[in-house]
Amino acid sequence: MEDGEAGSVNSQRVLHLFICGAGPARRIHELIDLAHDEGWDVYCAATESAVQHFLDTDAVAERCGHPVRTTYRRPGETPTPSADAVIVAPATYNTINKWAAGVADTYVLTQLAELTGLGVRIVVLPFVNQSLAANRIFLRSVEELRSDGVRVLFGPGEFEPHPPRTGDDAMTSFPWKLALRAARD
Ligand SMILES: Cc1cc2nc3c(=O)[nH]c(=O)nc-3n(C[C@H](O)[C@H](O)[C@H](O)COP(=O)(O)O)c2cc1C
């Protein structure tokens, strides 16, 4: 796979940010701004659902200074520098389960599969309600990813699921800072 193989052209640490299709994707600028403040060079990739329902990709690209990747690099396109750290946020029930199960049928899932194997630092900040979080498949997936060395910020003091239909309120206190701290430390 060619994406993610090139070295960084400057001394900034490179953060790969994978954005899935849940409400906080609309506020991804909050995480990007915090990351920029900490000196990260941020490269975003987004799932189809994120792009379709939540994300203004032009605005995100302008903020980061890099295009938002949704598919594989074509010949002649500039490669994305290798990641010093990866954040998946907001991470959906769907992506977490497919990733843990080894499914790689989209650009984002394929990148995550490769990065997991490479041992790059990966931080996952889920956004799921209490119903989705209570599903044993989800809990099993979280454990699978953790056993692969992925840092999943799920549980007391980290992301705590909200009651169904309260996502709009929960979004306002989404703990972006915890993801950045875990990517850094
Ligand atoms: C308005 C809206 C809100 C959604 N909120 C969530 C959510 O909070 N958490 C979640 O896991 N999925 C949520 N979904 C469902 C996901 O978008 C859906 O499962 C999708 O297949 C996820 O694709 P992805 O994992 O490739 O981004 C929402 C969908 C819509 C349209």
E-strand stretches of the chain: 13-19, 40-46, 85-91, 122-126, 151-152
Amino acid identity of residue 86, one-letter, is: V
Residue 184 predicted with pLDDT over 80: yes
What's the chain's length in residues? Answer: 185
Instruction: Identify whether 8 is part of a domain.
Output: no
Total structural domains within the chain: 1
Ligand 1 atom nearest to CA at 94: 25
Instruction: Identify whether 40 is part of a domain.
Output: yes
CB of residue 70 inside a 6 A radius of ligand 1: no
Compute, in angstroms, the gap from residue 121 CA to the centroid of ligand 1.
Answer: 24
Instruction: Identify whether 5 is part of a domain.
Output: no
**How far, in whole angstroms, is CA 48 from its chain's centroid?**
13
Residue with the smallest CA separation from ligand 1 atom 10 is: 92
The boundaries of the domain holding residue 115 are 13-184
Instruction: Identify whether 177 is part of a domain.
Output: yes
Do 8 and 43 meet the contact criterion of CB atoms below 8 Å apart? Answer: no
CB of residue 20 inside a 6 A radius of ligand 1: yes
Write the CATH number for 126.
3.40.50.1950
Instruction: Identify whether 3 is part of a domain.
Output: no
Compute, in angstroms, the gap from residue 75 CA to the centroid of ligand 1.
Answer: 32
pLDDT tens for 126-157 read: 999 999 999 999 999 999 999 999 999 999 99
Residue with the smallest CA separation from ligand 1 atom 25 is: 95
The contacts found for 99-106 with CB under 8 angstroms, 24 or more apart, are 99/141, 99/145, 100/140, 100/141, 100/142, 100/144, 100/145, 101/141, 106/47, 106/48
Residue with the smallest CA separation from ligand 1 atom 3 is: 22
Please state the rounded mean pLDDT for residues 20-42.
98
Give this prediction's pTM: 0.95
Among 2-6, 44-48, 116-120, where is mean pLDDT lowest? 2-6
CB of residue 50 inside a 6 A radius of ligand 1: yes
pLDDT tens for 70-116 read: 999 999 988 999 999 999 999 999 999 999 999 999 999 999 999 99
Amino acid identity of residue 180, one-letter, is: L
